Amino acid sequence: MKKKKILMAMSGGIDSTVSALLLLEQGYELVGGTFRTFDSIKESCIAKERGCCSIDSIMEARHLAEQLGFEHHILDFREAFKKHVIGDFIHEYMNGRTPNPCVLCNSSIKWGLLLDKADELGCDGIATGHYARVVQRDGHYYLGTAADTMKDQTYFLWRLTEENLSRTIFPLGNLTKPEVRKIAFDHGYVKLSQKTESQEICFIPDNDYRRFLSENVPDFSEIVHPGDFLDREGNKVGQHDGFPFYTIGQRKGLRVAFGTPKYVTAISAKDNTVTLGDRNDLLTTTLRAEGCSFTDAERLREHPQVQARIRYRSAAAEAVVSIDGDSLELRFNEPVWGVTPGQSLVLYQDGLVVGGGLIVG
């Protein structure tokens, strides 16, 4: 039986290249697609545009697709990316929250628009180089954690729907990063196998989100100005540079001295205040999330014990979830540190993503 035709999301990096190699060896017919999602920032800020969607990486992806023998398309998603991803990023910071743009990009751009393009090109589905798996269980499509726990990317993918997952292939889900590097090396991609990975936000390649906000928010200097640092009792203890420049849990760069380390514990965009406290002030056993989605809400109500992640690099913590429509309340078995409004909460059971939402408090 003829293998399916797949739109392969190509970044120019090792993961998508090895994914393409594996799918070709399995007999799939591939079409390559690479996103153009943003324009480079001012040359005065950075000498060379970098990132997963930069001109350099797009050209690398096109060259790799040509080498591998399949057609390649540059997909101009800049308008939608600016509206949905960059717009949300700015909105969240300007309202005192800390966003995670990769989560929104995956659901609205990499799957939303990419699947539309797959249909246009007559493809049955899409494939990406993410470290994750698709698991079918009890009539549902679940997002499953990757074999390489250090590279697992399910935290960024929780917003994918069952329809999305039913049309997605993750060729690297059962491989470790060293295994992926070896596959690239063995296929003659020696330089690519040794390539390091960027950790910056793709549209802020110099990693200076403060500069980015100042250049992209109209009347920024009138909106953002110095305000008061407060202690936990509401007393003024110093002056900050402007509320968008701080995140929950931040300790460095406060430029105030108290004799003991202080951390940002709350941010008020309305009052232009930033509250400081001790590390223990950031411990909590509860949180609320909104804008939630669940693979099987009824089953989750019957079995509410979950493992919850409140940020990408945090370990999953045991908790009990209570669902109310598209909102939830979570109670942790043990205190967790640094719950941050705007970040994603992702719920797991037995290595499967069962739900997620945006933390509001």
Catalytic residues: 105, 202
Helix (H) or strand (E) holding 309: strand 305-309
- Reduce the DSSP state of residue 17 to 3 states and report it: helix
Q: How do beta strands 305-309 and 317-324 pair?
A: antiparallel
Q: Quick check: 184 and 192 in contact, CB under 8 A?
A: yes
At position 133, the amino acid (one-letter code) is R
Q: Please, how many CA atoms are within 13 Å of residue 271, restricted to the half-sphere of its CB? A: 11
Given a contact cutoff of 8 angstroms between Cβ atoms, the answer to whether 203 and 105 are in contact is no
Quote the CA–CA distance of 158 and 327 in Å, as a whole number. Answer: 15
Q: Which amino acid is at 353?
A: V
Q: b/e for 180-205, b at 16 or more Cβ within 10 A?
A: bbebbeeeebeebbeeeeeeebbbbb
Contact 31, 5 (CB under 8 A): yes
Query: How many Cα atoms occupy the beta-carbon half-sphere of 23 within 13 Å?
Result: 34
* Angstrom distances, CA of residue 4 to CA of 29, 43, 127: 6, 43, 11
